[in-house]
Amino acid sequence: MARERGVQVVTRWGHTLTDLDALLKRHPGGKPTTTYSSFLNHLDKQLKAVPLAVLNKPRQLPPVVDADLAGLGASAATSASSSAAPASDAADAFGVPSAAALCLGPATSGVILRGGETEALARMEACLSQQGGAWVAAFEKPSTSPTEIDPFGQHTRSTTCLSPYLKFGCLSARVLHERVAAVYAAHPKHAKPPTSLHGQVYWREFYYACAHGTPNYEMMAANPICRQIPWEDDPELLAAWREARTGYPWIDAAMTQLREEGWIHHLARHAVACFLTRGDLWQSWEKGAEVFEELLLDADPAINRGNWMWLSCSCFFYQYFRCYSPVAFPKKYDKDGAYVRKWLPQLKDFPAKYIYEPWKAPIADQKKANCIIGQDYPKPIVNHELKRALTQQKLPMSKKVLPRVEP
């Protein structure tokens, strides 16, 4: 339409660090790599050829000349720095609709995150300035905690919690990269990829590049990088996982936080994804990804689908014997189970000894905690140890039975 009307169109890459077409040209055969370390080599070459640049905002926008857009009036044609309110006809046509106009009732829960670039930048700066930048410099993802009680609070966070802002474009990945680089410059002994904060931004770029260059990336069938695994299809098991009724408090607490807050820590995502797929329930990663897309504030097809393939050992990672225990894993971070007590209040008075395996508590303890297992909180839907042994046998076999589909 613009071309027909004689309007010059300038297209720029903005949502990712690099121009993904140019980045993929650096990959052998133009095909995305599924290995992070080789990806970093290609990315490094691309960034040397085309250094990252954060563009300045335009000082002035050209006037609107099209008669069809006359309704925008003077407001749309004002300079970018002007704070003039939009003309009311323009606001009707192009303004943000009210909650009432969208037929949304009053919010049922408190607002956890405010949207917009101003808020995004403030949150980013708050992270960057923690401990005078030392927090960012020392940031190593595996040392962060998945059981934080108030991840979006104003206190020191385990991770940045910037993902919803990056997803919606409120925060530019390039701005984040540039600001982190400035902190690194002041702290020469900073952490390095893959675990550093720059490393996290590169993971984002990695999955974007992969999604951009892979046909049918979002699904298992006809996806050339995805192992074809004969997952089972049990709607009951899927519903129990989705609705936090697995009987494993760590999994149910994380799925409750996901529903309530639209965000969970990366390692909690690992745990619930592993549990649904290769760890315990043997359900398809595509089903899990759909649930995440419905519930996550930061739901992003390239990142979400890529991570689900990783966790289910369908692509990128094949160490199927490394499995998350829904009992032992959370104990490493939260021995007393404060996170479980917050999200599953029916278990709040359970003794710490049984908080991750409440079905093992003697009935006297269950009564004392006012929570009878099987009545007030479900019994486990599967036996993790048994399931783990079975699924671990299945995974290596599945590679032989159903070879990878090539395009």
Residues 197/329, Cβ–Cβ less than 8 Å: no
Peptide linkage before 97 cis (omega within 30 of 0)? no
343 is in an annotated binding site: no
**Residue 269 makes contact with ligand FAD by CB under 6 A:** yes
Q: Collapse the DSSP code of 283 into the 3-class scheme (helix H, G, I; strand E, B; otherwise coil) and give the result.
A: strand
Q: How far is the CB of 350 from ligand FAD (least distance, A)?
A: 28
Q: How far is the CB of 263 from ligand FAD (least distance, A)?
A: 7
Name residues contacting ligand FAD, limited to 202-261 (CB under 6 A). 203-204, 207
Instruction: Name the residue among 196, 209, 245, 216 with its Cα closest to residue 376.
Output: 245
**Which structure tokens are listed for 206?**
């990695």
Tokens 């995150």 sit at which residue?
A: 113
CB burial of 246-283 (b: ≥16 within 10 Å; e: otherwise) equals bbbbbbbbbbbbbbebbbbbbbbbbbbbbbbbbbbbbb
Q: Which residue, 171 or 355, is less far from ligand FAD as judged by CB?
A: 171
Sole binder of ligand FAD in the list 172, 304, 325, 391 (CB under 6 A) = 304
Query: H-helix or E-strand containing 289?
Result: helix 285-295
Sole binder of ligand FAD in the list 180, 303, 347, 355 (CB under 6 A) = 303
**Residue 274 makes contact with ligand FAD by CB under 6 A:** no
**Residue 307 makes contact with ligand FAD by CB under 6 A:** yes
Q: How far is the CB of 70 from ligand FAD (least distance, A)?
A: 40
Q: Which stretch binds ligand FAD (CB under 6 A): 83-91, 113-121, 266-274, 340-348?
A: 266-274
300 is in an annotated binding site: yes
163 is in an annotated binding site: yes
Q: 233-237 contacts: CB < 8 A, separation 24 or more?
A: 233/283, 233/284, 234/281, 234/283, 237/281, 237/283, 237/381, 237/382
**Residue 200 makes contact with ligand FAD by CB under 6 A:** yes
Q: Which stretch binds ligand FAD (CB under 6 A): 16-24, 52-60, 103-111, 201-209?
A: 201-209
**Residue 23 makes contact with ligand FAD by CB under 6 A:** no
Angle between helix axes 197-213 and 173-186 (nearest 10 degrees) is: 150
Sole binder of ligand FAD in the list 148, 252, 261, 298 (CB under 6 A) = 298
Sole binder of ligand FAD in the list 120, 136, 180, 201 (CB under 6 A) = 201
Q: Which residue, 269 or 287, is less far from ligand FAD as judged by CB?
A: 269
Q: How far is CA 118 from CA 121, 151, 154, 180, in A?
A: 5, 20, 16, 18
Give the DSSP letter string of 219-272.
SSTT-TTS-----B--HHHHHHHHTT-SS-HHHHHHHHHHHHHS---HHHHHHH
**Residue 16 makes contact with ligand FAD by CB under 6 A:** no
The strand ranges marked E within 264-394 are: none
Residue 311 pairs in a beta bridge with none
Rounded to the nearest 10 degrees, how much is the dihedral formed by the CA atoms of 116, 122, 125, 127? -90
**Residue 292 makes contact with ligand FAD by CB under 6 A:** yes
**Residue 34 makes contact with ligand FAD by CB under 6 A:** no
**Residue 160 makes contact with ligand FAD by CB under 6 A:** yes
Q: How far is the CB of 158 from ligand FAD (least distance, A)?
A: 8
Q: How far is the CB of 275 from ligand FAD (least distance, A)?
A: 11
50 is in an annotated binding site: no
160 is in an annotated binding site: yes
**Residue 42 makes contact with ligand FAD by CB under 6 A:** no
Sole binder of ligand FAD in the list 26, 123, 141, 190 (CB under 6 A) = 141
- Give the phi and the psi of residue 137 in degrees, each rounded to 5: -60, -35
Sole binder of ligand FAD in the list 136, 166, 226, 340 (CB under 6 A) = 166
Annotated binding residues for FAD, written as ranges, equal: 159-163, 200-207, 298-300
- The residues that touch ligand FAD, with contacts defined as CB under 6 A, are 141, 159-163, 166-167, 200-201, 203-204, 207, 265-266, 269-270, 273, 292, 296, 298-300, 303-304, 307-308, 311
